[in-house]
Structure 1
């Protein structure tokens, strides 16, 4: 049996086990996929060693461990190196291969929704691992500017220093931004009945697209005027399919019907 896991904290909200259970059934794969909540003060090396000793084929990694676990990979893909975080490990030949599939998932989500961001301005809410991945995807699409809106000055500066790209800037206070998209890379829309001061700093403009990378939305806090609004369901599915292809070292995901996966997550 192939063994897979997803780790994070919190992790109860994850739909990954349900998604992969369906995928394994469709592809007639003898596999299991479970979720495990990792304590924030855990010995991460011991956790990874545990999965290897249990003959796991791979794991997915979610917040807040994407940047913390990158140092345990023996080999990294280019997107992991550029962003400084991983969301997929493949255990093979006693080595750990680390991948960032969020960059791929976000780009595929845009293509799926026929959204072209070339030449656009973009406000990114957040400055964590997810924000770093989305920023790399935006740079690959040749956007005009990327404005970071975050209360964490340290992580904001880390992103700017990491990429060293003059397209990445802190959001100015009094500037009218045209042809602008709003992209949420934080968990603020996963929480019910919460007030977030950072929302008040978002300019009151007509956005082209409002994109929330979360796929389970619990509030309407991003209720701004826009032409188009999408959530991160497609991104979630595409990054999962990328993990599947990595673990089985083939384009096995081509055998799946995306629309059926989408209905499953709805």
Structure 2
């Protein structure tokens, strides 16, 4: 029996166990299990000492440990190292290797929207770990311009550095969130913050006059299925996309890392999305 888990704190509302079980059902894998492990910072090192020699074959990592686990690993994928965030760890012969499947999940979801990244103009709201994953995809695939809107200039500068390292030709600007209301129209606006997440569903990081009918509004939040950010965008005539498909895709890519083979080609992503959306009240 292969054993996998999600590490983080808190984990009370995570959908990951149900999602992974749905993936295993689709793939007819009956010798794998997935559970949550609530892990405070002070227990991280001791957990990894045990993890290295057994217990789990692989783990996902979520808040607040995505950066903290990096020094505890033997190898880290180049992109995960660049954005200083690991959310998937594979154990082979007591060797631990870290990856970031949020990058793969965002890229997959954006491809499904049929929006071209190359040559287009993007706005990223927020500058945390999720924003780093988003920026890595946009830079690598040739965005023309990326505007970063964030309260912390220091974090925004770090995000700008990531973009420059991956693609120095991308035009990057930094501004505070208050500037969003007067911003020019973008091909895509991505909310990477938790503003609007359940239970604070009346909140939005932007005002509705940011949007134009040519804009794709992408909110990484998946609960609620339609945030105020997306509702305002829809009223303005925009296409909208929530974070559910990204959540599903990053999980499938994790399974692919752990199990090997081309797992992505053998699952019905849309069916997984429907299964997990049923769990959101």
2:171 is aligned to 167
Name 2:228's counterpart in structure 1.
221
Superposition misfits of 4+ residues, deviation over 4 angstroms: 194-198
- Change in 2 beyond 3 A, CA 1:76/1:226: farther
Is the 1:119–1:143 contact (alpha carbons within 8 Å) kept by the matching residues of 2?
yes
- Give the drift of 1:63: 2.0
Task: Normalising by structure 1, report the TM-score.
Answer: 0.89
8 A contact 2:7–2:62 mirrored in 1: yes
Determine if the alignment matches structure 1 residue 247 to structure 2 residue 247: no
| Partner residue, 1:36 | 37
Q: Does 1:121 align with 2:140?
A: no
Report which stretch shifted further, 217-226 or 94-103: 217-226
**Superposition CA RMSD, Å:** 2.4
Residues 24 and 169 of structure 1: CA distance in aligned 2, closer, same or farther (over 3 Å) = same
Residue 197 (structure 1) shift = 8.5
CA deviation profile, 1:120-140 (whole Å, cap 9, x unmatched): 221111111110010000112
Looking at structure 2, the residues matched to 128 and 148 of structure 1 have their Cα atoms a distance apart, in angstroms, of: 11
1:57-206 superposed matches below 5 A:
57-164=57-164, 165=168, 167-171=171-175, 173=179, 176-193=183-200, 198-199=205-206, 204-206=210-212
Q: Secondary structure at the match of 1:36?
A: strand
Where structure 2 has 5 or more consecutive residues not aligned to the other structure, the ranges are: none
Shift of 1:178: 3.5
1:252 offset after TM fit, Å?
Answer: 3.3
**Structure 2 residue 19 is the aligned partner of structure 1 residue 19:** yes
Alignment partners' CA distance in 1, 2:251 and 2:275: 14
Secondary structure of the residue aligned to 1:42 is: helix
Residue 251 of structure 1 and its aligned partner are, at CA, apart by: 1.6
Residues 89-141 of structure 1, C-alpha deviation per residue, up to 9 Å, x if partnerless? 00111111110111111111111222223222211111111100100001122
Q: TM-score, normalised by structure 2?
A: 0.84
Change (3 A) 1:18 1:28: same
CA-CA distance at 1:20 after TM superposition: 1.2
Q: Does 1:208 align with 2:215?
A: yes
Between Structure 1 and Structure 2, which shows a larger proportion of helix residues?
2
Is the Cα contact below 8 Å between 1:209 and 1:226 reproduced in 2? Answer: no
Conserved 8 A contact 1:192-1:218 = no
Aligned length: 264
Moved more, 118-127 or 44-53: 44-53
**What is the rounded CA distance, in whole Å, between the counterparts of 1:218 and 1:10 in structure 2?**
21
Instruction: Tell me, in whole angstroms, the C-alpha distance in 2 between the residues paired with 1:215 and 1:196.
Output: 14
Deviations 1:175-222, CA, capped at 9 Å, x for gaps = 64234321011111213347769535x863416111011222277331
Q: Distance in 2 between matches of 1:178 and 1:252?
A: 38
The alpha carbon displacement at 1:23 in A equals 2.2
